[in-house]
Structure formats: C-alpha cells, structure tokens
Amino acid sequence: LNTPRPGAERVTVITAIGNTGDPELMQDVLPSLTTGSTQERGAAAKALGRMPGARSHLLTQLQSESSSVVRAHLAEGLCKQGEPTLASLEAIDRAITAESDQRARFAMARYLGENIGRFPRAKATLETVLESERSNRIRRYIAGRIYAK
C-alpha cells in the first residue's frame, strides 16, 4: 500500500489484508482509514473490524467520520471487536441518537443492545431511539432487546 495505486486497486489490497484478520498488518491499513477516498476508508474500516485490537482506531475515526457509509462500516467493525470497553459503549451511546444513516444506527443499536447487561444506560438510550426511529428493522431489533423476557 505504500506505492501509488489506482483507487480500485487500493480497495482490493485493503480488502485482501482485512480478509487475513492478521493484526500484524494493521499498520498497513491505518493510513487509508483517515486519508483515503470514501471507498478506501470504508474498506479500511471493514478490514480493521476483522483485526483484533483495532477498537480504538475504529472509535477514533467514528467520532470524526463525515461519510455515513464509512460510519456504518466503523460501527459494524466495532461489533466484531469482542468484549466492549466502557469507552466504546459510551461513544456509541452518544453517537446513535444523532446518526442519520440507517445501517450505522442498526449496528450501533446492536452494539448497545448486546451489552445492556454491561452498560445499563444503553436501555434508556435505546428507548429514546425507539421513540423516533423510522426503520421497522431497527424498531423490531430494539424492542426485542429491551422488552424481551
């Protein structure tokens, strides 16, 4: 990735690196997460989501990312990072109510919904999201997580 390549080729290389799931290759992907095109940043977010230990990078980028597509990939990647940290749960808790992208909101709702036991404040946040959510898929998911017995 250090040599100049056309955009589509860079995305292919980033995707291939991500498919390995090898955290040793994380440093090869990180520059594309912040400076690449939207497609490159999305591919980098997906790739990092498959690499153990990438949570802090995904969270940092989620907080400043302008593309809704990339934010969705970042949130989905966080879901794959295993046991969440308090900082990651708090960041998603703050971000979900302002998120405009349905796919990103669903991934964020999953992140919070799967961790209500660890982060009880998530229940109140999800109830707030449920009140104004337009997506049936997200409403069904949230209702199932917070009202299921």
DSSP character for 97?
G
Answer yes or no: is pLDDT of 2 > 80: no
pLDDT of residue 15: 95
Residue 88 CA, chain-centre distance (Å), reads 10
Tell me the whole-structure pTM to 2 decimals.
Answer: 0.86
**pLDDT for 6:** 63
What is the predicted pLDDT for the residue at 30? Answer: 96
Mean pLDDT of 85-111: 94
112 is written with which tokens?
A: 């919070």
Give residue 24's pLDDT band: very low, low, confident or very high (50, 70, 90): very high
Is the confidence at residue 3, as pLDDT, over 60? no
85-95 burial, b if ≥16 CB within 10 A, otherwise e? eeebbebbbeb
